[in-house]
Chains A and B, each alone.
Chain A
Amino acid sequence: MNTLELLRFPFVQYALIVSVLMAVCASLIGVPLVLKRYSFMGFGLSNVAFMGMALAIIVDAFNPMAIVMPFTIAATIILIGFGNRFKKISRDASLAMITVGSLAVGHFAINTFSMRGNITADVSETLFGGMRLLTLDMTDVWQSVGITVFVLLFFVFFYHRIFAVTFDVDFMQATGQRPLVYELALSAITGIVIAVSMNLLGSLLTAALIIFPALSAMRLFRAYKSVIIFATIAAACCSLLGILISIIIELPVTTTIILVNIALFFILLVVDTLYKMLA
């Protein structure tokens, strides 16, 4: 069976569309996160979303997102939005606690209270995705289209302010703007993207899509605009390539996408290093 025939199957089409769109969203929110030194936040918050998902599985929620979403948004706003304003516990320590704690609570809850049979599959699926990505339906596709349009509009309209709030919060505050409003809006959107992406792609791939495209783009480009544009294009292409490879030669789908992203990062790292040595 060749690739073109595979593309006729709706499940392949859905997987391609959803993973490319979520890659675009995750890489967009990833650039300000990485620049603000919050790279690990993506993984921490994915784990919070995992805990939310575990709770949703226990109560057998009709719509798990109704539980996952508020959980993740609240955690994002507390960690990012107010992170620098309360200094009782360092940001690094609070992030580590949340990452480890939410994984443990999620796993504990699923094992102790779940009525469902295959617990290991549930856990593995929520963390690493995989089958979920190949069993999407039209609702999932529309959900990711909706969120992508929303995220793109937010980034187009607030592009300069997202830049300013990433580069220098104090300057915005001193010149009579309201950085907190933009920080909170950006945090809320980060939470929404992570929650949706965790549900569709699993938490590991979500975390990978936040950091790798942004870091790859920073190897090549020196302007903020180019970094943000290249990161989204790179993320989309890596997802496309990763899914095609995994389907054609039967590899685990989400981790293949991550490996493609890692490969791109190292290629660009070598290119950048060689360029600097020659220049």
Chain B
Amino acid sequence: MMLQVRDLSIGYNGIAILDDINFCVEGGSYLCIVGENGTGKSTLLKTISRLLKPIYGDISFSVSRKEIGYLSQQTAVQSDFPATVNEIVATGALSKGSWYRPFYRKLEKELIAWAIDKTKITDIKGKCFRELSGGQQRRVLLARALVAAKNFIVLDEPTAGLDPEATKDFYELLWKINRDERVTIIMVTHDIESTMKYATHVLHLQPDDYFFGTNCEYVQFQKGKIT
């Protein structure tokens, strides 16, 4: 068991927007969190990534908290930041070193090279981040998340703002990494179609309620809603 969520209440400033969430994630799964706007998808992901405190309940990990890679929605600062791909991917390794060490070790450099290779950004690793396309930028941030955590990454709407072609490429890449490297993935997305295509498990948030189950169960659930 990679992640277990028990009796969780989430929200901002002590006001809960969703209560009694219970689910667990096995190693190697691919969980998509879907639902309408405002149902708390991002809030849940931020709570899992510990950017927000849970209002009530408990989130337990089988891995160290440091072994979680995080890929956020793009911030304004990042869109014109002067930094190379290599410099950004390398910051993923910071959680592994001691606080005072000014250089990366050989092991960390190998990890950085591995992540750059897996996300297929080798040919652009010397380029400036702000000059890349949206799809390339998302792969760079994915590589950084992989350096931070080889086993477990969480993503908050990673394809927001990408064109359909780049979106498809990104999902393909993510699916390959999940399958070949056994990386556990938790992703917030709007895209029901690709959720059904790639995810092993689905968490569908609704106001005051949620569905959690395997991909097959979710297909049944969706059919039930239509009829």
Contacts and interface: CB of A to CB of B under 8 A. Distances in A.
Interface residues of B, number: 38
B75 A168 contact: yes
A170 B82 contact: no
Contact of B70 (A156, A167, A175, A223): A175
A164 B102 contact: no
A167 B91 contact: yes
A189 B75 CA distance: 25
Contacts of B148: 171, 175
B65 interface: yes
Contact of B149 (A161, A166, A175): A175
Given A156-B102, A159-B102, A222-B82, A167 B88 contact: yes
B66 A176 contact: yes
B91 A163 contact: yes
A174 interface: yes
Contacts of B50: 173-174, 176
Interface in A219-241: 221-225, 227
A222 B154 CA distance: 29
A123 interface: no
A171 B144 contact: yes
A49 to B, nearest CB: 26
Most-contacted residue by chain B among A171, A222, A225, A227 (CB, 10 A): A171
Interface in A184-238: 218, 221-225, 227
Given A171-B91, A177-B95, A36 B77 contact: yes
A150 to B, nearest CB: 15
Contact of B100 (A157, A218, A225): A157
Interface in A143-175: 156-161, 163-164, 166-168, 170-175
A203 to B, nearest CB: 26
B51 A160 contact: no
Given A37-B76, A171-B148, A175-B68, 9 more contacts: A35-B77, A37-B77, A156-B102, A160-B91, A163-B83, A163-B91, A167-B88, A175-B95, A177-B94
26 contacts: A35-B77, A35-B81, A35-B82, A160-B94, A164-B94, A167-B77, A167-B78, A168-B78, A168-B91, A170-B49, A170-B75, A171-B144, A173-B50, A174-B72, A175-B92, A176-B50, A176-B68, A177-B94, A177-B95, A222-B83, A222-B84, A222-B127, A223-B82, A223-B84, A223-B128, A224-B81
